[in-house]
Amino acid sequence: MSDLVHHAVGESRPAVFRGLRESVLRLSLLRKDWAANGPPWLPLVLVLAAIAGVAYADHLVVSLSLVYLYTLPLTVGAVFLPKEVSYGLIVACIVFHYFFHYFDSPRHIHLGLRIFHDLSALLCLTFIVYVIQLYIERQESLVKTVEPQRDDLLRDVELAAEVQRLFLPLGKLVVSGLEVAGMMQPARGVSGDYYDYFAINAHTTQIIIADVAGKGVPAALLMSATAAAVRLEANHDRNMLEQVERLNTGIHSVSDSDRYLTLLLAEIDAQKRTLRYVNCGHNPGLLFRARTKTLTRLDSSCPPIGLAPKEICELASETLVAGDVLVFYTDGVTEAENQLGEEFGIERLSATVRGGSSLSAEDLMNNIYNAAADFCRDDFDDDVTILVVKCNFDGSPTVSS
């Protein structure tokens, strides 16, 4: 057993010493960031090679002094190397200049003039390296200050995203005859999109999809206010036009002209098989009719929410049959661009809906998202929200992909 232990320890020593030696080289010859991300020997080798090149040129040109050409390699060294190494290279450069230039020069130069020339070059090179080192140190200090603030901000954004997800519906809809699936994919951690659905009674559900103008935290804050207001409206009467008017008044009072939202508010009565909706500047919803295999657009009938103190809208309605499919979405889907700058567009979306009309609501939702993601190579510029409602009034079969 002791032989095995000694053998293991003996084999581990070279690795330990090797790792220690590499660590010492990294810490002594490189700045921290470069030591972590690049070969430890490369900057020093490049600087030494450049100094050797200048020294050789200084040796060949005897008619004038090239000592100030050492500024270039020393400047590079000051960026990548610690100040102790950089200042040591200055001394080496002056020594190289003294030996390679003066000793081989056919002209006789007074010793005092040599010393004055070398001292002035030493001071000049030292000043340049000092200024660069000072700048680098301030940059490193700034990075050390900013990094914790950046990490705190990222944690705050992650927390905001978690809170935002609480506004989204949890679980499946319990209204008989309706199958609903929804998703939201933020473009910047937090989203300006919003969707919701909830049962009003045993056979009626309300569906909401909204898109706040803009992206990021400001849009997410207004989205959260919208979600809270919609939930409060759920406790009021079911007059959708009055709901929209009250929501518009509330949003307009807390936002400016640059902050508004598009909204599509709908109610589906599975017993009467009717759809009533109000589209406030939102992308037209798509209604796939199972009998005729055609698509009907649920177009906007009034301006977006929050633009004006008063909102005058029209209530529209459609009759539904078993197998009909409703698709609501935000412009992050239709405005997804490929490498040629072409948008996914409503025509490609419509084709995807037609092709997947027999699928379940969740599978069709996934098909739409995947089609848009493949089109733009998963590089969405805006938040993506998709909401699919499948009408299974007669218990019509649903195909699962």
**245-288 residue pLDDT tens:** 888 888 887 776 677 889 999 999 999 999 999 999 999 999 99
Q: Output the CA torsion 24→26→29→30 (10° steps).
A: -150
Regarding predicted confidence, which is higher, 258 or 6? 258
**Which amino acid appears at position 327 of this protein?**
V
395 or 26: which carries more pLDDT confidence? 395
Neighbours of 55 (CB within 10 A): 21
Residue 145 has pLDDT above 80, yes or no: yes
Determine if the pTM surpasses 0.75: no
| CATH fit for domain 171-391, picks 1.10.150.530, 3.40.50.2300, 3.40.140.10, 3.60.40.10 | 3.60.40.10
List, as one string, the DSSP characters of 112-162: HHHHHHHHHHHHHHHHHHHHHHHHHHHHHHHHHHHHHHHHHHHHHHHHHHH
Question: Cβ(180)–Cβ(387) under 8 Å?
Answer: yes
Q: Tell me the one-letter amino acid at 204.
A: T
Which of the residue ranges 101-110, 284-293, 304-313 would you say has the lowest mean pLDDT? 101-110
Residue 288, pLDDT score: 97
228 pLDDT above the threshold of 80: no
Measured distance CA(69)–CA(305) in Å, rounded? 67
| Ranges in the chain annotated CATH 3.60.40.10 | 171-391
Whether residue 102 is predicted with pLDDT greater than 90 in this model: the reply is no
Please return the burial class of 247, using the count of CB atoms within 10 Å of its CB with bins 0-12, 13-18 and 19+: buried
Q: What was the pLDDT predicted at 20?
A: 40
- Over 90: is that where the pLDDT of 149 sits? no
| Rounded Cα–Cα distance for residues 62 and 68 (Å) | 14
pLDDT category at 397 given cuts 50, 70, 90 is very low
Region 152-175: what's the mean pLDDT?
Answer: 74
Tens digits of residue pLDDT in 25-80:
444 445 555 444 556 667 778 888 888 888 877 777 766 677 778 888 888 888 88
Spatial distance between the Cα atoms of 12 and 29, rounded to a whole number of angstroms? 26
